[in-house]
Structure 1
Amino acid sequence: METARISPWQFFILALGYLLGTSFFFRLGGIISISRQDAWMTPLWTGAVGILLSLIWIKLTTYYPGNSIIQICVQVAGKGIGGLIALLYIGYFVHLSALITRNLGDFMKINLMPRTPITVFHVMFLLIICYAVTKGVETISRSTEFLFPIVTVAFLFIFFIALSEWNWDRFQGMFQTNIWSTLHKNRSVIAFPFLESFALVMLFPYVKSKIKRSFILANIITALFLSVGVFFTIGVLGVTRATHETYSLFVIVQEIHLGTFFEHMESTIALILLIVIFIKLSIAYYCAVAGLCQLFHVNNRSWLAISLILLVSGLSLGFNNILENMTFNRQYYFEYIFLFAVLLPLLLLCLTWIKQGKEKRKAVGF
């Protein structure tokens, strides 16, 4: 296992970039299409549900400090069943990497380079990610620590400029949504981004201290920022336009004009997207590579990282178009990730309690 160490601040930035980055680009329009003018409340309650569910794997890690989820699986359920569960987790990390890669490819092909084959975007970006992963989690955390302030400043700049298009009339009809009727429809928001945060458990062994505080704080800030982002999008674009735009934030940037100086800023937002995709994909890809190394006791992860490029790039072509990708995310992703983020951790936690109960009975002579 890698001997790297990262500070609580670096882990917080990693977690925040992982959770907030791509969801800020790909989630806003979908949330607004379901909850309309009340959509800004959706990230708040879905974030609360996500944090409550995350307490399951946080509790699990307290019994096995210094171990990743792969190592915990083997310790709890043995090399046979535990190894199989660990392999399922690795498979999910690989699939998550493919989903993130496909999001990047769809964005670039639809908005910037429609004549370029989508595979070109996938392979070129995965080569950069592969290099970052081979350098280790410390390199990824330092890169994120350097890049994240740039992204934050750019977002704030866009926010203040776009406020000139703000119209409070676009919020007419607020507080009329039946929350209970939208719970089922908004379950995908719980899955992406909040339940996806369980991948960060793979980084817990490298954090020096204050892991739980940094993790929960990153989830809270993600929920608040997503709520502000949805509120901002409704105020600038309105519910109807935001609902019909796949990349609502990109549309806002396209329409920013300040004289003849600030025009055509979509290339800037594309660069920001590349940065946040780098943060999230590097973590997901690292989890897959590190999981394989830990499960099969591989010391050199370079060849594994290179080999996964072809697998991830191939899996990212599993959808014929972006509509299939969006349908999977909205209708099936919650049930899919629920297995890895809730059911399997609960199973491991119950097995841990059973083993501890047997050990206590042996200790008292029963």
Structure 2
Amino acid sequence: MGQSKITVWQFFVLTLTFLIGTSFFFTPGGLINVAKQDAWIVPLWAGTSTILVSLIWLELSKQYQGLSIIQICIKVAGKKLGSLLALMYISYFIQLAVFVTRNMGDFMKQAMMPMSPITVFHLMFLVISGYAVYKGIDTIARSSELLFIIMGVTFIFIVCLGLTQWDSGRFQGMFRMDLWKTMKETRSIFGFPFLESLLFLMLFPFVKSKLKSSFILAIVIATIMLSFSTFFTIGVLGVTRASHDTYPLFVIAQEIHIGSFFEHMESTIALILLVAIFIKLSIAYYCSVLGICQLFRIKNRSWITLALILLISGLALGYDNVVENIEFSKKYDFEYTLIYSVFIPLLLLIVTWIRRSRKKSMRETTS
């Protein structure tokens, strides 16, 4: 399972799509509701902070080249404590796959097919993603290359059409936010989507070269694009409307009318979202399966992949509705993700430095 390799470009596409995919649709409305006309600034400081945090991940990966975060936990913390930390990471990966699955189900049921059972959407997507996971990370990476182009071209097309409804007057009152209050109320954006990229600690060993530059570049571009998406949403819908819509980009696509030819573009936006969800879900799903296989030394991942379809689908029903999901993310997502993205990797890195400094001092004294 660990013999596959992905190119720098494939890794860049995976990282960028993972970060911007679903956040384009779910993040702008919440940010605009809190920060109003200044909401487009929030992703900029969130992305900058993530770059600093990513240096911890990259340094940890450099110290243990060729090892995933699961293997690093066991090597640094020992078999018992390390296995416990590895189980915590696996549970986080599964939980993230559950969040992505439920977000997809809520969107399809609320915006596209309200009469269909939400479980149908969960199982359909999980079966497709499960097959991709079974085929391996190189298959997911190649798929993302093609889907990324389709998603990018379609999004640019929608933006160009949406600019016909642009009104710069909707930005009146900009730069009046309370910085500390805004950071506190929008802290969930640090967790979703930025700190969630800690999953790539599982994929770092598959990258052949230029890992650091491609990973940081993907975060930078994702930050700029998410900021632009929020800026674009404010200019087209305005603060009041955008802050009350769960999927503001979907609303923009619904209202695009150019003559009698370009209208009802919401199905196109739905296509972009489904593509983005497929890639993000496949990455989280794959990391869950890979983590279980590495922890328990399982060579055949087929049964693990199949079992997780049922587990993720069942756990995705844990929320009553999309509002409860959003409220949970606002209140707890940042603190929850911070444990796995900052505290544990930093602790592992500090232990590594202490051990290596002790070994170095012992060698000097013996010589």
TM-score range, shorter chain: over 0.9
Partner of 1:171 in structure 2? 171
1:365 Cα deviation (Å)?
A: 3.4
Partner of 2:62 in structure 1? 62
Kindly indicate whether residue 156 of structure 2 is the aligned counterpart of residue 156 of structure 1: yes
| Distance in 2 separating the partners of 1:183 and 1:18 | 23
Partner of 2:96 in structure 1? 96
TM-score, reference length from structure 1: 0.98
| Distance in 2 separating the partners of 1:112 and 1:102 | 15
Residues 65-84 of structure 1: matches in 2 within 5 Å? 65-84=65-84
1:361 Cα deviation (Å)?
A: 2.9
Partner of 2:247 in structure 1? 247
Partner of 1:218 in structure 2? 218
> Cα deviations across residues 191-242 of structure 1 (Å, max 9, x unaligned)?
1111011101111101010001111000000110011101100000000000
Residues 16-95 of structure 1: matches in 2 within 5 Å? 16-95=16-95
Structure 2 letter corresponding to 1:267:
S
1:364 Cα deviation (Å)?
A: 2.4
| Distance in 1 separating the partners of 2:121 and 2:55 | 37
Deviates more, 1:256-265 or 1:142-151: 256-265
1:357 Cα deviation (Å)?
A: 2.3
Contact 1:51–1:194 (Cα < 8 Å) also in 2: no
| Distance in 2 separating the partners of 1:29 and 1:323 | 13
Contact 1:188–1:330 (Cα < 8 Å) also in 2: yes
| Distance in 1 separating the partners of 2:196 and 2:11 | 16
| Distance in 1 separating the partners of 2:125 and 2:352 | 40
Partner of 1:358 in structure 2? 358
| Distance in 1 separating the partners of 2:67 and 2:300 | 19
Gaps of 5+ in 1: none
1:259 Cα deviation (Å)?
A: 1.6
1:58 Cα deviation (Å)?
A: 1.3
Deviates more, 1:349-358 or 1:32-41: 349-358
Kindly indicate whether residue 264 of structure 2 is the aligned counterpart of residue 264 of structure 1: yes
| Distance in 2 separating the partners of 1:235 and 1:106 | 26
1:52 Cα deviation (Å)?
A: 1.0
| Distance in 2 separating the partners of 1:86 and 1:114 | 39
1:126 Cα deviation (Å)?
A: 0.1
1:362 Cα deviation (Å)?
A: 2.5
Runs of 4+ in structure 1 off by over 6 angstroms are none
Kindly indicate whether residue 296 of structure 2 is the aligned counterpart of residue 333 of structure 1: no
> Cα deviations across residues 260-295 of structure 1 (Å, max 9, x unaligned)?
212222111111111000110000000000001111
Identity %: 58
1:358 Cα deviation (Å)?
A: 2.5
What is the root-mean-square deviation of aligned Cα atoms in Å? 0.9
1:79 Cα deviation (Å)?
A: 1.1
1:180 Cα deviation (Å)?
A: 2.0
Contact 1:19–1:193 (Cα < 8 Å) also in 2: yes
> Cα deviations across residues 140-192 of structure 1 (Å, max 9, x unaligned)?
00000011011001011000111110111100001111212211111111111
Deviates more, 1:347-356 or 1:83-92: 347-356
Residues 275-286 of structure 1: matches in 2 within 5 Å? 275-286=275-286
| Distance in 2 separating the partners of 1:172 and 1:17 | 32
Paired residues, number: 366
SS across alignment from 2:6: coil
> Cα deviations across residues 85-105 of structure 1 (Å, max 9, x unaligned)?
011000000000000000000
| Distance in 1 separating the partners of 2:97 and 2:357 | 38
Partner of 1:137 in structure 2? 137
TM-score, reference length from structure 2: 0.98
SS across alignment from 1:87: helix
> Cα deviations across residues 284-342 of structure 1 (Å, max 9, x unaligned)?
00000000111111111111000001110111111111111000111110000011001
Partner of 2:229 in structure 1? 229
| Distance in 1 separating the partners of 2:32 and 2:155 | 20
Deviates more, 1:346-355 or 1:237-246: 346-355
| Distance in 1 separating the partners of 2:355 and 2:314 | 41
| Distance in 1 separating the partners of 2:180 and 2:340 | 25
Gaps of 5+ in 2: none
SS across alignment from 1:298: coil
> Cα deviations across residues 22-64 of structure 1 (Å, max 9, x unaligned)?
0001101011111100111111111101111121111111100
SS across alignment from 2:258: coil
| Distance in 2 separating the partners of 1:147 and 1:229 | 19
